[in-house]
């Protein structure tokens, strides 16, 4: 038998939509649905952002059915890049084929990956870079998996929405790391709630209360840009605060349940415990009341996220309806008297194993869909759930009621990442003389 040519391999992804479009003229099928590719074709992956989540996503991508290969990587930091390649090589052996000339370091490294022969890119840099990288990936004709959040400011959200629309036109797969949407327990529970299991939803609750994450101490000789990028979690132009970086998961579940997005938000927050300079400019707690409106019906989401130790911790979502309530993540529905009326089925032996392995499942779903030509389009809801978290941050930082439409159309730009070329550039937020950073003050800070 003749060996398949490289042109044939590339055609399996890039030509599928064209062939399907032609077939649809005869069959009446949707071009995306009609597309089909062979399961034995190799999907070549590029990784942009080699931190912990990037390594994890690449690992999960290569765990999927059918041949895959990691062929190009990029990161702002060479040590991150080499560590990721070494770790993934140990995990996946020959599936990792990243010689020195396909390892790219620096602020423009993402573009160099996009110039390579890759079919799909994983975008896992700090979130402030996501809109720029996503737009470039779509322009380059690549399928995309991007981690959440997909933006940290309204301008970034709008850019992602526009790029997601362009991806649809090009029949490019777009998946977003909001993995609960791929977990069977969430899928089944949300469906039952939407089918009326507890009547009309009148209120919801969502929590991401925990003890916080890592801190990387400032090193002698570090530029301010390098320090902030090493500690990206604590700077809003990179992270968006933990309400955006973490709590987006819970907010997205409520948006999914409600079938839309809040019309307004008001709330409060601050820095009660994590007040040191090493925590940059973000708050350690947020409490937000989001309002959802649909055809005259109103419901309220009470939202909490907190990074303070020795407190009540929970990462969960709840729905309250006219006839009962639900613990969504645990897959349990109760009547108004608190009696259990439905529970997501337990596995044999009464255990509920792997009900929340959405990180792997979202990649199984993505790669299987690409091979079938059933192209996922998660960019829009990824953008608007990111915007939901941004709306909440605007409310807590300002102390005022903020409406969805005024927030979404705000000219606010927190992440001018297109202008950065090196670690010698100045980041958009600079420290005071004592290396502390400006902190948002409710009633004073302007957010629109």
Q: Which CATH number fits domain 188-354+382-419: 3.30.360.10, 3.40.50.1220, 3.40.50.970, 3.40.50.720?
A: 3.30.360.10
Q: Name the pLDDT band for 352 (thresholds 50, 70, 90).
A: low
> Pick from 67, 64, 63, 69: which is nearest to 46 by CA?
69
Q: Which helix H or strand E contains 175, and what residues bound it?
A: strand 174-176
| 3-state class (DSSP) for residue 201 | strand
Q: pLDDT per residue over 356-414, tens digit each?
A: 789 999 999 999 999 999 999 999 999 999 999 999 999 999 999 999 999 999 998 99
End-to-end CA distance of the chain: 64
Cα separation, 247 vs 42, in Å, equals: 35
| Domain range annotation of the chain | 6-180+367-379, 188-354+382-419
Task: Kindly report the length of the chain.
Answer: 448
Q: Tokens in use for 298? A: 């109103």
Q: pLDDT per residue over 134-170, tens digit each?
A: 999 999 999 999 999 999 999 999 999 999 999 999 9
Cα separation, 271 vs 267, in Å, equals: 14
Cα separation, 429 vs 216, in Å, equals: 18
Contacts of 221 (CB under 8 A, 6+ apart): none
- Say which range, 35-39, 57-61, 444-448, has the weakest mean pLDDT: 35-39
Q: Tell me the pLDDT of the chain averaged across its residues.
A: 91
Predicted model pTM: 0.91
Is residue 19 predicted with pLDDT exceeding 60?
no
Residue 158 forms beta bridges with which residues? none
Taking each continuous run of H as one helix and of E as one strand, the counts in the chain are 15, 15
Pair 112, 138: CB distance under 8 Å: no
Cα separation, 310 vs 16, in Å, equals: 54
Confidence (pLDDT) at 121: 98
Please state, in angstroms and as integers, the Cα–Cα distance from residue 190 to each residue in 92, 176, 257, following that order. Answer: 36, 19, 6
To which CATH superfamily is domain 6-180+367-379 assigned?
NAD(P)-binding Rossmann-like Domain (3.40.50.720)
Confidence (pLDDT) at 427: 98
Q: pLDDT per residue over 418-440, tens digit each?
A: 999 999 999 999 999 999 999 99
């Amino acid at each position: 038998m003749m060996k398949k040519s490289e042109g044939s391999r590339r055609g399996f992804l890039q030509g599928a939509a064209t062939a399907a479009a032609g077939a649809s003229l005869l069959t009446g099928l949707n071009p995306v649905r009609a597309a089909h590719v062979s399961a034995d074709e190799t999907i070549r992956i590029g990784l942009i952002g080699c931190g912990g989540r990037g390594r994890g996503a690449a690992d999960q991508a290569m765990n999927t059915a059918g041949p895959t290969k990691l062929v190009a990587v990029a990161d702002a930091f060479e040590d991150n890049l080499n560590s990721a390649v070494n770790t993934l090589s140990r995990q996946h052996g020959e599936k990792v084929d990243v010689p020195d000339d396909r390892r790219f370091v620096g602020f423009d490294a993402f573009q160099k990956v996009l110039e390579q022969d890759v079919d799909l890119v994983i975008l896992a840099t700090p979130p402030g870079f996501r809109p720029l990288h996503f737009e470039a990936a779509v322009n380059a004709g690549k399928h995309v998996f991007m981690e959440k959040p997909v933006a940290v400011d309204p301008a970034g959200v709008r850019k992602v929405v526009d790029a997601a629309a362009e991806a649809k036109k090009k029949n490019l797969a777009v998946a977003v790391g909001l993995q609960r949407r791929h977990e069977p327990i969430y899928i089944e529970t949300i469906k039952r709630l939407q089918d009326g299991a507890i009547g009309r939803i009148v209120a919801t609750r969502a929590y991401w209360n925990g003890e916080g994450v890592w801190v990387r101490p400032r090193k002698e000789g570090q530029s301010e840009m390098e320090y902030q990028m090493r500690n990206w979690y604590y700077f809003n132009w990179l992270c968006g605060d933990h309400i955006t970086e973490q709590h987006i998961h819970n907010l997205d579940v409520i948006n999914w349940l409600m079938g839309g997005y809040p019309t307004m938000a008001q709330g409060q927050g601050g820095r009660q415990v994590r007040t040191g300079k090493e925590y940059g400019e973000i708050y350690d707690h947020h409490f937000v009341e989001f309002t959802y409106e649909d055809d005259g019906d109103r419901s309220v989401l009470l939202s909490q996220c907190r990074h303070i130790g020795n407190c009540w911790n929970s990462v969960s979502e709840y729905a309250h309806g006219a006839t009962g309530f639900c613990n969504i993540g645990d897959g349990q529905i109760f009547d108004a008297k608190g009696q259990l009326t439905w529970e997501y089925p337990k596995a044999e032996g009464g255990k509920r194993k792997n009900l929340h392995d959405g990180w792997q499942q979202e990649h199984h779903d993505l790669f299987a869909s690409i091979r079938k030509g059933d192209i996922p389009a998660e960019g829009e809801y990824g953008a608007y759930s990111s915007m939901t978290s941004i709306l909440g941050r605007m409310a807590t930082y300002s102390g005022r009621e903020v409406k969805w439409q005024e927030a979404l159309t705000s000219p606010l730009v927190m992440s001018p990442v297109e202008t950065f070329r090196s670690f010698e550039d100045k980041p958009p937020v600079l420290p005071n003389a004592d290396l502390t950073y400006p902190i948002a003050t409710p009633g004073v800070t302007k957010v629109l």
